[in-house]
Chains A and B, each alone.
Chain A
């Protein structure tokens, strides 16, 4: 679905990503984990066209989208939900859904909104509530629902469970699985809650210092000695992890 090759990107003169190779396959949940500052969020932003790309290629369904602006990517079925500011807090839930389908015709918009509310029935009772007054979990669900209104094929999520209680985080993880299984949407996520995210994922990548340190099946990453050591805080030399990755899985 999306293939990233030798991506070098950052902000202005500050390079964050170095020769990153990542492949996201249709119908699979792909999760990127890694310590703070490893370039995970920058990678997602780069996919959506929100960073400066110095070199490398991003192809989506065999089309080169490396330098395509974000609003064009939205039309192609790619949705990016940042960790914060992913809904309009001054608008009500229903207004957020309406605005998500701004480019759709009235009939189509109705249809897509009904679909989004079918996937997230929790929002039905709070349609007139301002998004700014929602709980963290509700807000995250609304953000994901807006992506559904936009006919999303690839849903890029930056830490969707950040600042949520474990119970609410579990609800969001269940929704991500549901999106893949029932609605043919391909989720790509970055998560701090690495273990749980990899448990629901098909493919996992580990970023360290702006490079891909490991890529493979989520199960293999979970069981990887280095991953376990790293997330237990035992590894103190990050370069040890990178030794195992050859750019394929």
Chain B
């Protein structure tokens, strides 16, 4: 099943889903390459689960087609698709033992000697001694592994995971993330993982598609998405961004912008929109890219860096780093994360400070967007 020549890509062409007048998924084109770990990331109600269910065959698309490799499966019922799902609630069969739960798919396909395969699968998910238990006798994490084993044993072309870690506590979730990643590497099956947890998506997936309001906002490798968000939603939903509204002074290979009298620079290549002199631009920088020095040390800052002056409004110590909120005329509530290497005793609330960062770390977004997009949704789903 790991044979590349089989061409097991999942291709969604123009698929959409309407429920009455409500559009859950807008026409969407998406290709998930064979063998990749693909994450659909978004807040609840963004259409990610609906998209997954259309691949599984549990939901029929209103328009468009679903291809698995060269085969069109758009109207195939789920039991005829070479696709298996790990459900959010696990949906283990309560009346069957763990062994029978895992053997279910094999038996339905008329395979008689399931013992060896089931035992191998139980080993893979490290549940060998639980074969004869019933699902309710297992903990959440163990049930989750059974759900994965039950799907994987069928060697599907694609394994669909619908928020499989949502019900687990944080520590267990971290552990299961690593475990799923290990299993995926081991079996080499294409995984499509739906989640609202941006950290989970970034740690596990090779490619992440960020969805919002039934559309894919941006698609790419986790680092690519994080470093180069193309919309305010992505900038705010994946991690935190400081977004500054600025007007463009000049637009060459280096874009010069000004915001409340402060001049900032960024490379034109890092703008998701074409900046025009006299136009508006949203300038963004991640909090951990910014350095913080007391105002009196401003002269020590290397030339060519972007600088903003302000006053510390709040600080919170969280172990590895200290998070500062800085009020500045340029932008209220700039966030800065400073690693706790040498803590400067002068950096306390009320102190006058200068923020500075490498212009290369600045990104530019189309100013016509909602600056707050993606902020509330994070809180909602947390």
- The answer on A and B forming one complex is no
